[in-house]
Structure 1
Amino acid sequence: MVAEPVDIGFANTEITPQGWEATLELGFKLSNDKTVLAHRRHHGPLTVQRPFYPEGGVCHLYLLHPPGGVVAGDSLTITINAAANSAALVTTPAAGKFYRSTGELARQSVTLTVAAGAALEWLPQETIIYEGARVASELRVNLESGARFIGWEVLVLGRPAANEGFTVGQACMSWQIFRADELFYRERLKLDAQAFLARWGLNGHSACGTMFACPASVVQLEAVQQLIGETAGRGVTLIDDLLICRALDTRADRLRGFFQQVWAALRPDVLQRKACEPRIWAT
């Protein structure tokens, strides 16, 4: 089945020849009961730190973007493949940033492919979209039969600590999840000044996030519902065995902390291993 919310618009995503065009390709495979980074190729300012192994054979990897932010005309392309029976967690050491634009788009495209029996976690820290930025972001997840996946995306519009809202700018987000090469879930979202303030949009909340977990069941759905309780700005649903959790907040750290709680609750069942937070989250 395909679950597709109402499409409220998606900007033209043509890449201009100006700016950085950075690409990063990563491939994980299982070798002697340990997941190794078997393939790494990059062009431009995208790279990774050496892998960490805080929980045995699971590979923890940190993505690095040395410029520290994305400007108009930049294009970042990330491709990650997890081979059969491998297990990897990918995160970032700091928040990503998209800076103000005079008109050109900044683009990010992420493709994650998880083979049968493999487990991949895509858990980047929040992305800050400065007022006046124009962003097009695409996330595609390809899950083979028997694959396991947890991933999230946390966005911050403006900089509340600097009294900056989001009165101008645009962020167009696209998520697609394929199951056995068939489109299962698709969502497109346009965030601009109107959506930022409207009650039908973010209602002035500067931070919003979406989290996916698969495979999940009613047991995990109920566990997250109990975790949410009566807290406003939190929600969770289950489409077949795909769990989708959403959150709004006025503070990114509080939203990220909530997602980390959900991740810790889901990981034992979804990925069949207890929670082990990346060390970088504590810094």
Structure 2
Amino acid sequence: MSVQESGSSWEADLRLGFESRQGKTLLVQRRHRGPLTVQRPFYPEGDLCHVYLLHPPGGVVGGDRLDIRVNAGAESRALVTTPAAGKFYRSEGLAARQSVHLAAGATAALEWLPQEAIFYRGARVVSEVDVSLAESARFIGWESFCFGRPASGEAFDRGRAAFRWSIRVNERPLLIERFEVDDQVLKASWGLQGQPIGATLYAYPASPKSLELVRVVAGDRPAFGATVIDDLLVCRALDSHIEPLRRLLVELWRAIRPDVIGRPVCLPRIWAT
């Protein structure tokens, strides 16, 4: 555990490695430094490993640095999620940074399904997710956010969050995305259109069938879009309330998981607590 020069910030990292052994995926590497860890693995689907990522402090403040690395070895099957929303608190100047590096080897299946991130008024955050896949790997991942606390009347009228996603297959970039949100972007018609809550879902490999499935799920829902580019499915949605967006993500996942991962949905038990 190390503390930054500010005297009140955390640096923490977590390394997880999965391998397939005798037809079952095992968590063979689990190293952590600082306040990041995981619960014991769960096997509600038999051979597929569910892991819950824990951040005991309960929130991230300016200056904190979190680094998460997940490697799913060849033929392994793993799902990583979180037990609760991530909270990013007001900063007096320093930015918090969360970096996530995900890798899946040949014929592996990896799912990255964290619960939403809540950005409090005045938060300054850089969030990075880098995904590296073998061509025969399978991946579903999502990211959802809530700016301010709409239910409490707290607007995100100051602060800034920068999001960076990259997805590569055999080192070939399928997606490199950067966008930043502040009060202006939140309100703008060309930005988040005044909707403080949003989400993006990615899936690889995706077929025209996957695209049709998510469009059926979304129906005529406003502020929703989906496309497939180079076998990568990208879905985006905005909302003014978190619960409808949570339900939408789960229903999109339910629709495409059989096609992408080859299994029906099995909800992580921690989501029900």
TM-score under structure 1 normalisation? 0.93
Counterpart AA for 1:98: F
Counterpart AA for 2:113: L
Q: CA deviation at 1:184?
A: 2.1
Distance 1:190 1:255 in 2: 21
- Tell me which residue corresponds to 2:173: 183
Contact 2:174–2:230 under 8 Å retained in 1:
no
Could you say what secondary structure the match of 1:57 adopts? coil
- Tell me which residue corresponds to 1:56: 46
Q: CA deviation at 1:229?
A: 1.3
Distance 2:5 2:22 in 1: 44
Q: CA deviation at 1:17?
A: 4.0
Contact 2:107–2:136 under 8 Å retained in 1:
yes
Q: CA deviation at 1:281?
A: 1.4
- Tell me which residue corresponds to 2:239: 249
- Tell me which residue corresponds to 1:109: 99
1:129 pairs with 2:116: no
Contact 1:17–1:73 under 8 Å retained in 2:
no
1:25 pairs with 2:15: yes
Could you say what secondary structure the match of 2:179 adopts? strand
Distance 1:277 1:244 in 2: 21
Distance 1:31 1:252 in 2: 39
Could you say what secondary structure the match of 2:146 adopts? strand
1:96 pairs with 2:86: yes
Q: CA deviation at 1:67?
A: 0.1
Could you say what secondary structure the match of 2:265 adopts? coil
Equivalent runs, 1:1-283 vs 2, <5 Å = 17-18=5-6, 19-283=9-273
Contact 2:104–2:110 under 8 Å retained in 1:
yes
Structure 2 regions of 5+ residues with no counterpart?
none
Number of corresponding residues = 269
Percent identity reads 56
Distance 1:132 1:82 in 2: 36
Q: CA deviation at 1:33?
A: 1.1
Q: CA deviation at 1:254?
A: 1.2
Counterpart AA for 1:147: A
Counterpart AA for 1:120: L
Q: CA deviation at 1:183?
A: 2.0
Q: CA deviation at 1:122?
A: 0.1
CA RMSD of aligned residues (A): 1.1
In terms of mean alpha carbon deviation, does 199-208 or 59-68 score higher? 199-208
Distance 1:123 1:165 in 2: 26
Could you say what secondary structure the match of 1:219 adopts? helix
Structure 1 regions of 5+ residues with no counterpart?
1-15
Higher relative contact order (CA 8 A, sep 6+): 1
